[in-house]
């Protein structure tokens, strides 16, 4: 028997049992869409998270947080660690913006202008500013996008050159007026270390320590290693030098941990979606078993006119293969279409599923394999039927 | 010289939950090439069983069947399929066409099993249909054909692969006398004009007139073999014994 004849006969019998065939194909499609989207979204989340982390928190840095604050002396210790390229400190203060519309809480961030790109995850200062300048000095500040425009409507609320009056609760001055020198671009995505970088006002540290802060301490210190391969070493040393109230972490380690977590999540999603494929395989098994019984006499006829047992076996396997191939290819096609049209919110990201080649391969191969295994038993039963008995079957 | 078909002491014993049913009890006869052999006998005498064994659909419990010098009960499952496909053609009482296929496709089936390319098998199936007088019904489905036409499609399917032996098990059993006649005329043509060897099992004693020899089977054994001139004698003897 020829391959083309197996497909011809398989199609003919599938066409005759349209309802069952359609049901099985639909089952495969749904299972494949679920599987590839689940894996695809996991993949996207992994990629997006990693990118964001690497952008905002450089992979070769170690971060030290302290609400009490780290002193210049602490920074000097860190600078002395061999393998450390640079160290910079950032101070935070919660302030209240006084607006015609009301009072709004934002974070005042004291940071050297040259470290701003690193802190906000952009490559250069030019990429940072929507309008105005980035040269912060004295009371000239850069405001984050949520401060100068309405986060909902996008309507512009503040302009370069205007003043910004804020209330400082724990600081020296009760009220202070800044000049807006620059409007920062929207950073989007991840909410930086304990704050939202869009809902912030950035100023130069010297002025901050002069006018706002009571003490010259930093809430966040970033230690940049000479190379990302030194990070774990640097992290160890930083821990040794840090005061007990400080919390130390490195993005590299964190990315790794999240990545492990996401992979586990992806595996669980994959396993859950595979249940769908298993259910479809059971359906294929069931429908094949019924089909073999219903077509007992036909099998007898085929054997009587010279079809070999192997031909009958392959004929039934071909039917399962046709169902699975059509189902899984359409399923992957639908999943790809959906992934390009629909964004799915996951932990604060809105993601499109990334259907990688390996996901495609898995989503196509798995149902084909499962359905072939499921139809093996009924197909073998069909192949081993005794022709005389099969012909007599009513 | 050995015969075309040799049936040698063939026994078939069915075991139904310990109860032994002896369908054939040492059947013995030969069939010569080009013969049109009839097999008659009462219901349950083992006619179908015998035909199935000769056609390689079933195996004897004891004894052997030799066709063209080949002991067919020694063939493997795969060789038996080939034997059924190439050496014999079957025609059954119930036609056994596949309802979803057209007459032409049904006739093509033995050639599909053989791996004949599509164009060629179309052509040969069409020729077979024309031979049974159904060239104009090629694209009808079985349920659009009369019983006699369905049976002739089944005959076309049986002969499309050019077998050397045609086995027919009560081929007219489900047909009215008109259709039965048209079917028998096809058998006659195949036998007389194409030299095809035919074994015909029948209940209908009128059909023995088509045969050159008739085997009378009773209780799984050959009771007597009648030559063409002895049919009147056979019929009266069978009527007397009530069969
Ligand atoms: N699969 C089977 N299992 C048990 N007994 C069987 C089986 N097939 C046939 N028999 C028995 O064997 C005997 C011969 O059956 P067979 O079908 O050959 O008879 P037949 O001469 O063709 O009868 P009919 O003229 O009614 O078709 C019968 O008694 C039948 O009951
Ligand atoms: Mg019978």
For ligand 1, atom 3: residue with the closest CA = B14
With CB atoms and an 8 Å threshold, state whether A12 touches B100.
yes
Is B134 among the domain residues? yes
Q: How confident is the model at residue A55 (pLDDT cuts 50, 70, 90)?
A: low
**Within 13 Å and on the Cβ side, how many CA atoms surround B10?**
31
Compute, in angstroms, the gap from residue B45 CA to the centroid of ligand 1: 7
Q: Are B23 and B217 in contact (CB under 8 A)?
A: no
Is B183 among the domain residues? no
Angle (CA) B101 B103 B105, round 5°: 55
| pLDDT at B102 (0 to 100) | 97
| pLDDT at A189 (0 to 100) | 47
Is B138 among the domain residues? yes
Q: From chain B, pick out residues whose CB is under 8 angstroms from the CB of A387.
A: 57-58
CA distance A311 to chain B (A): 8
Q: Are A99 and A90 in contact (CB under 8 A)?
A: no
Residue with tokens 């196509």: A364
With CB atoms and an 8 Å threshold, state whether B112 touches A387.
no
In angstroms, the CA A49 to CA A258 distance is 8
Tell me B72's DSSP state: G
Taking only the tens place, the pLDDT of each residue in A323-351 is 999 999 999 999 999 888 877 776 666 77
Is B87 among the domain residues? no
With CB atoms and an 8 Å threshold, state whether A1 touches B113.
yes
pLDDT higher for B139 or A193?
B139
For ligand 1, atom 31: residue with the closest CA = B44
Taking only the tens place, the pLDDT of each residue in B189-238 is 999 999 999 999 998 888 999 999 999 999 999 999 999 888 888 888 88
Question: Among candidates B75, B27, B51, which has minimal Cα distance to A304?
Answer: B51
pLDDT higher for A350 or B178?
B178
In angstroms, the CA A224 to CA A241 distance is 15
Q: Cα dist. A173→A177, A214, A284, B108, B235 in Å?
A: 10, 10, 76, 99, 132
pLDDT at B108 over 90: yes
**Ligand 1 neighbourhood includes B228 CB (under 6 angstroms):** no
For ligand 1, atom 24: residue with the closest CA = B43
pLDDT at A217 over 70: yes
Q: Are A66 and A245 in contact (CB under 8 A)?
A: yes
**Ligand 1 neighbourhood includes B14 CB (under 6 angstroms):** yes
Is B107 among the domain residues? yes
With CB atoms and an 8 Å threshold, state whether A306 touches B85.
yes
Q: Are B18 and B196 in contact (CB under 8 A)?
A: no
Taking only the tens place, the pLDDT of each residue in B16-32 is 888 999 999 999 999 99
Chain B residue with Cα closest to A387: B57
Q: From chain A, pick out residues whose CB is under 8 angstroms from the CB of B97.
A: 301
CA distance A8 to chain B (A): 10
CA distance B146 to chain A (A): 20
The structural domain count of chain B equals 1
| pLDDT at B161 (0 to 100) | 95
Q: Average pLDDT, whole number, for chain A?
A: 86
Show which of residues 109-168 on chain B sit within 8 Å of chain A, judged by CB atoms.
109-110, 112-115, 117-118, 157-158, 161
**Ligand 1 neighbourhood includes B124 CB (under 6 angstroms):** no
* H helices, E strands: number in chain B: 7, 10
> B81 and chain A: CB distance < 8 Å anywhere?
yes
B11, B20, B46, best to mutate for ligand 1 pocket (most atoms within 8 Å of CB): B46
Domain spans of chain A, in order of start: 3-54+257-392, 86-214
Pairing verdict, β A247-249 and A61-70: antiparallel
Q: How confident is the model at residue B156 (pLDDT cuts 50, 70, 90)?
A: very high
**Ligand 1 neighbourhood includes B46 CB (under 6 angstroms):** yes
Return the ligand 1 atom nearest residue B52 CA: 18
- DSSP, collapsed to helix, strand or coil, labels residue B38 as strand
Lookup: tokens for A244: 């007990």
Q: Which of A66-80, B91-105, B152-166, B228-242 has the lowest mean pLDDT?
A: B228-242
Percent residues over pLDDT 70 in chain A: 93
Interface probe with A: pick from B23, B47, B48, B57, most Cβ of A within 10 Å:
B57
B44, B47, B50, best to mutate for ligand 1 pocket (most atoms within 8 Å of CB): B44
Average pLDDT for residues A190-205, to the nearest whole number? 76
Q: Are A272 and A90 in contact (CB under 8 A)?
A: no
With CB atoms and an 8 Å threshold, state whether B112 touches A1.
yes
| pLDDT at A171 (0 to 100) | 58
Q: Which of A174-183, A258-267, B30-39 has the lowest mean pLDDT?
A: A258-267
> A12 and chain B: CB distance < 8 Å anywhere?
yes
pLDDT at A258 over 90: no
Q: How confident is the model at residue A170 (pLDDT cuts 50, 70, 90)?
A: low
For ligand 1, atom 5: residue with the closest CA = B14
Is B18 among the domain residues? no
In angstroms, the CA A223 to CA A238 distance is 8
Identify which of B82, B90, B115 has the shortest CB distance to residue A1. B115
- DSSP, collapsed to helix, strand or coil, labels residue A74 as helix
Average pLDDT for residues A53-76, to the nearest whole number? 80
| pLDDT at A191 (0 to 100) | 44
Show which of residues 298-337 on chain A sit within 8 Å of chain B, judged by CB atoms.
298, 300-311
Taking only the tens place, the pLDDT of each residue in A106-154 is 889 999 888 887 777 677 777 788 888 888 888 899 998 888 888 788 8
Per 3-state DSSP, what percentage of chain A is helix, strand, and coil (rounded to 5)? 55, 20, 25
What is the four-CA torsion angle of A374, A378, A384, A389, rounded to 10 degrees? 180
* Range(s) of the domain holding residue B139: 94-162
In angstroms, the CA A134 to CA A203 distance is 10
In angstroms, the CA B35 to CA B27 distance is 19
């Amino acid at each position: 028997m020829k391959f083309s004849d197996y497909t011809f006969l398989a199609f003919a019998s599938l066409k005759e049992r349209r309802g069952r065939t359609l049901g099985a194909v639909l089952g495969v499609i749904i299972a494949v869409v679920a599987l590839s989207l689940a894996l695809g979204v996991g993949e996207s989340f992994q990629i997006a998270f990693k990118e964001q982390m690497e952008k905002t928190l450089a992979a070769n840095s170690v971060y030290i947080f302290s609400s009490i604050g780290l002193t210049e002396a602490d920074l000097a210790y860190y600078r002395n660690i061999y393998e450390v390229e640079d160290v910079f400190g950032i101070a935070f203060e919660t302030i209240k913006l006084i607006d015609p519309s009301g009072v709004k809480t934002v974070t005042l961030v004291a940071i050297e202008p040259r470290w701003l790109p690193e802190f906000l995850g952009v490559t250069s200062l030019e990429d940072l500013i929507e309008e105005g300048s980035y040269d912060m000095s004295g009371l000239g500040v850069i405001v984050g996008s949520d401060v100068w425009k309405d986060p909902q409507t996008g309507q512009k609320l503040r302009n370069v050159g205007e003043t910004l009056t804020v209330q400082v609760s724990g600081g020296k001055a009760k009220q202070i007026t800044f000049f807006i020198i620059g409007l920062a671009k929207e950073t989007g995505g991840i909410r930086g270390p304990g704050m939202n970088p869009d809902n912030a006002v950035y100023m130069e540290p010297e002025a901050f320590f002069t006018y706002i802060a009571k003490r010259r301490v930093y809430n966040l210190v970033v230690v940049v290693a000479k190379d990302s391969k030194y990070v774990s070493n640097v992290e160890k040393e930083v821990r040794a030098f840090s005061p007990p109230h400080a919390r130390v972490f490195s993005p590299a380690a964190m990315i790794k941990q999240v990545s492990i977590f996401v992979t586990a999540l992806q595996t669980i999603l994959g396993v859950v979606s595979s249940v769908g494929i298993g259910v479809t395989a059971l359906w294929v098994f069931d429908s094949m078993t019924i089909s073999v019984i219903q077509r007992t006499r036909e099998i007898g006829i085929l054997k009587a006119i010279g079809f070999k047992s192997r031909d009958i076996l392959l004929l039934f396997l071909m039917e399962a293969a046709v169902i699975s191939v059509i189902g899984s290819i359409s399923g992957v096609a639908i999943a790809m279409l959906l992934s390009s049209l629909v964004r799915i919110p996951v932990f604060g990201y809105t993601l499109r599923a990334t259907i990688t080649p390996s996901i495609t391969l898995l989503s196509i191969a798995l149902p084909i394999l499962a359905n072939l295994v499921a139809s093996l038993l009924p197909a073998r039963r069909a192949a081993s039927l005794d022709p005389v008995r099969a012909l007599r079957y009513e | 010289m050995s015969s075309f078909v040799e049936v040698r002491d063939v026994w078939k014993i069915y075991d139904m939950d310990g109860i032994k049913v002896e369908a054939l009890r040492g059947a013995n006869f030969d069939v010569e090439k080009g013969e049109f052999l009839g097999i008659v006998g009462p219901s349950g005498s083992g006619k179908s069983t015998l035909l199935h064994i000769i056609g390689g659909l079933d195996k004897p419990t004891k004894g052997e069947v030799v066709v063209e010098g080949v002991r067919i009960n020694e063939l493997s499952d795969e060789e038996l399929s080939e034997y059924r496909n190439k050496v014999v053609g079957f025609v059954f009482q119930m036609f056994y066409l596949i309802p979803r296929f057209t007459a032409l496709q049904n006739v093509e089936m033995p050639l599909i099993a053989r791996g004949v390319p599509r164009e060629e098998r179309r052509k040969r199936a069409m020729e077979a249909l024309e031979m049974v007088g159904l060239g104009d019904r090629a694209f009808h489905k079985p349920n659009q054909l009369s019983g006699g036409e369905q049976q002739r499609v089944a005959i076309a399917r049986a002969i499309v692969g050019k077998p050397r032996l045609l086995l027919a098990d009560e081929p007219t059993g489900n047909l009215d006398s008109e259709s039965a006649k048209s079917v028998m005329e096809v058998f006659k043509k195949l036998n007389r004009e194409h030299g095809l060897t035919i074994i015909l099992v029948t209940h209908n004693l009128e059909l023995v007139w088509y045969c050159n020899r008739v085997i009378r089977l009773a209780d799984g054994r050959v009771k007597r073999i009648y030559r063409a001139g002895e049919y009147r004698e056979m019929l009266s003897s069978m009527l007397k014994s009530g069969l």
